[in-house]
Structure 1
């Protein structure tokens, strides 16, 4: 192991800050390529265990930290910042940053960065995979085979829903939403979208996409796919009323953030037949999942795999590391979040 990097393990403390070198704390496991980039700018202490870093261990490291590389499971709040009086940058290894109190960071002069762009294709691919899984009942089919249940092919067996000529409603036509719409268009789907403002005309033309109100999108779409950020404004955006406004043969997909959907309301909608099905990559109280979802055949669930490819996770770590290098060198970050 490179001498400039030490691992964090409970009960083991080989790390001692070296005077004159920038101190960089990595609060969770990231690919080695990101660590290599960080080593060029300072002394790196990285937590390498599978379980979350204990708060007392984290705070002890942050006391001397000039930079922190964080994961979406970290809460970067007033307590985090209070433990890090020398901190100059928080590099969040995620495109979303709802886990970071950006205003508190800005008030302390701490730059915040994220990793947009590099996970767009991976998340869009997963969204289309979930769309096909839930509409074609692929999860049910696999469970049937694995259970050892006797089955026999028949014309009426496990009929799903085709997507050609169906309407996809994209809530949030940013980079990921646009990539999803591009893929869905190739599958023969029609596209409507809801944004705070319209995208440019060329993008609308290329996607054949039409801007509509959220009410119209929910009421007319065969598949509703969520790609908006998590915020106070979008918390429980999909609640019992929103679900009730959807068609009974429609499907909901969430690869954005769990709190956008009221999970209890979703369980009721799936159980009562208010909507036909749902496919989820994220959860309201992640990693906990509402127990009512677990026994339902009309929901597909995967454990937050949107960016889970070797190539994408490496690119995310590398971008976060390059942001740290830039800040520590006195340069502007590559992908700043607000206030910089």
Structure 2
């Protein structure tokens, strides 16, 4: 069964408490589970376990009820099919040229060598959030101001120090990571806030300069270019005025993933980052990723990202370490994502004339 509508200013009222109001040209299409390619062969129990990790933090009554039922669910596939309906959400954010087509990228938890003390090798600081950032209306200092100015100096805001400014930049892009200390211990850091400036892609900037084509750009390509061109590379990093601050999250056991936007550990290849203006955080999401390594799987929306904009954008969490980073860095694949919404919420998206 397929039913599509063009929403007027509908989403904010109908889905209050689950996601922010989407743009008025957003389209919703209710599908059947038979429309989901590979649905029958997925590991629904694994997805249910990840769903249970964060559903207890969802406060809307519909989700609270479903979370309670999930704790006693027998067959996981039956649970999802009985209480949810797949909804295809399409449309582009008002301030984005892209976003109508499905696009999947990957992210990971970097593991970077570092130190708790500054020395000639480890000289680039990972900063905590300055208290005045939260007290400021509008954007705070830019990346250039923070990196080249003296605002941060002598305040004890350094969590740790690392050797490579490019790794620090990509740690900020990922939003979390583990610092491998000289004694073999690890320090885990997570997102602690940002300076309020919009994220600008340095990959797109390299394409616009004619240095690479769109298909050539990846995280590894960018890192290599910046290192091979230190002066131009340092200036390229300043193209992105957004700057991310961190906090220590050592309460998370080493065997678990980093904390996502719901302040719970995320799970390799089961957690995704989404745009919460369209997809409720905590919701199950069916993905059909194409590309060199197709992936059809039930994920849980447990994270966000400044570059993730639109109803058909998702960042797949690939895990921790260099191998996860290599896989994440080359992922830029088409496909589609379908949100599983509680039945009553799915059908509330339909106008009365269709019901």
Structure having the higher helix fraction is 1
Structure having the higher strand fraction is 2
Which structure exhibits the higher relative contact order, with contacts defined as CA atoms closer than 8 Å and separated by 6 or more residues?
2
TM-score w.r.t. structure 1 length? 0.24
TM-score w.r.t. structure 2 length? 0.24
Q: Which has the larger radius of gyration?
A: 1
